[in-house]
Amino acid sequence: ATPMSVMVGTGRGARAGVLIRDAEALERFAKVDTLIVDKTGTLTEGKPALTDVIAQGVTRDRLLTLAAALERGSEHPLAEAIVTGAGEVPKLVPEAFEAVTGQGVRARVEGARVAFGNAALMAEEGADIAALTETAERLQSEGKTAMFLSVDGQAAGIVAVADRIKETTPQAIRDLQAEGLRIVMATGDSPRTAQAVARQLGLADVRAGVSPEGKVAILNELKAQGASVAMAGDGVNDAPALASADVGIAMGTGADVALESAGLTLVKGDLTGILRARRLAEAVMRNIR
């Protein structure tokens, strides 16, 4: 790579909202054939809003009060949706608050052990969610994220949120596919929710219920098959995968850790920037050869 063309490319990138860490990142990106994308905050807005509340054995207000009490302590994008969506509920103060990465939150509230999160968290709490499963599945088929609340190991209901697909995502996906990139969606969200979103975007390859380490494992699996892999994500969850990808792409709107792990940073944080970066990388590499 001639330093001159890389410099020109880097400058053009910056003006187009793509920050390129170094010449190697640009060079490697021209060779990438597979793109792993996180769902929440990458394909979607990352600003979920509360849509459904289904209480079981408690009032709707009590369910929202407890969920909000826990989520005030969390920095997860889902947490803000719950706190905002709960509205004017009593502000109970949780004790022994614990964030369970990729599962939810847990604390003691008014002496009770309260947990809020996914089915795996409910299993850990010993809470039987059988009576809520059908409802959860219906919500997930609509692309919503359904979270369960348990009180002292008893399932007390579901709160669901929906996160809109970014306006630019569908076209960007089609363009990236037309560039010959294989796109794989990886998300911590449930399989049904992930499938519902993937269907809307025409994505066939979906990995759901994936932990941060799981995203690294998917990356390594694809690399072992001979793929050259870029990973796009925004969250703290995505940082390990961004760091171990051939090219890590941070959506600029996300967490600082994501930015530190990335070879490319998209200032505007939508997939259109990946397409621009890809065309730029190819143009620069053509000039060099």
Judged by beta carbon, residue 2 or residue 220, the one nearer ligand ADP is 220
Size of the site for ligand ADP (CB under 6 A): 22
**Please, what is the minimum distance in Å from the beta carbon of residue 64 to ligand ADP?**
13
- 38 noted as active-site residue: yes
Q: How many angstroms separate the CA atoms of 96 and 48, rounded?
A: 26
Helix H or strand E encompassing 282:
helix 272-288
Given the rule CB under 6 A, which of 98-106, 218-226, 268-276, 280-288 is the region that contacts ligand ADP? Answer: 98-106
Angle of CA points 230, 260, 6, to nearest 5°: 60
**Please, what is the minimum distance in Å from the beta carbon of residue 38 to ligand ADP?**
6
In the numeric block, the tokens 């919500």 are attached to 139
Helix, strand, or coil (residue 107): strand
Judged by beta carbon, residue 41 or residue 263, the one nearer Mg ion is 41
Indicate whether 232 belongs to the interface with ligand ADP (CB under 6 A).
no
Helix, strand, or coil (residue 115): strand
User: Any idea what DSSP says for residue 167?
Assistant: T
Indicate whether 252 belongs to the interface with Mg ion (CB under 5 A).
no
User: Any idea what DSSP says for residue 40?
Assistant: I
Indicate whether 20 belongs to the interface with ligand ADP (CB under 6 A).
no
Q: How far is CA 273 from CA 94, 179, 182, 225, in A?
A: 41, 14, 17, 27
- What lies within 8 Å, CB to CB, of 100 at 6+ separation is 106, 117, 121, 124
Q: In angstroms, how far is CA 278 from the centroid of its own chain? A: 22
**Please, what is the minimum distance in Å from the beta carbon of residue 84 to ligand ADP?**
13
- Shortest CA distance to 264 belongs to which of 28, 6, 8? 28
Instruction: Dig out the tokens for 86 from the structure.
Output: 């709960």
Alpha helical stretches, state H, 54-167: 60-71, 77-86, 119-125, 130-141
Q: How many angstroms separate the CA atoms of 230 and 228, rounded?
A: 7
Binders of ligand ADP among residues 121 to 160 (CB under 6 A) are 145, 147
Instruction: Work out which of 9, 143, 235, 240 binds ligand ADP, going by CB under 6 A.
Output: 235
Judged by beta carbon, residue 38 or residue 125, the one nearer Mg ion is 38
Size of the site for Mg ion (CB under 5 A): 4
Binders of Mg ion among residues 209 to 228 (CB under 5 A) are none
Indicate whether 41 belongs to the interface with Mg ion (CB under 5 A).
yes
**Please, what is the minimum distance in Å from the beta carbon of residue 170 to Mg ion?**
19
Given the rule CB under 6 A, which of 2-10, 97-105, 170-178, 264-272 is the region that contacts ligand ADP? Answer: 97-105
Given the rule CB under 6 A, which of 4-12, 17-25, 29-37, 75-83 is the region that contacts ligand ADP? Answer: 75-83
**Binding residues for ligand ADP, per CB under 6 A?**
38-40, 71, 74, 76, 78-79, 102-105, 116-118, 145, 147, 187-189, 235, 237
Residues catalogued as catalytic? 38
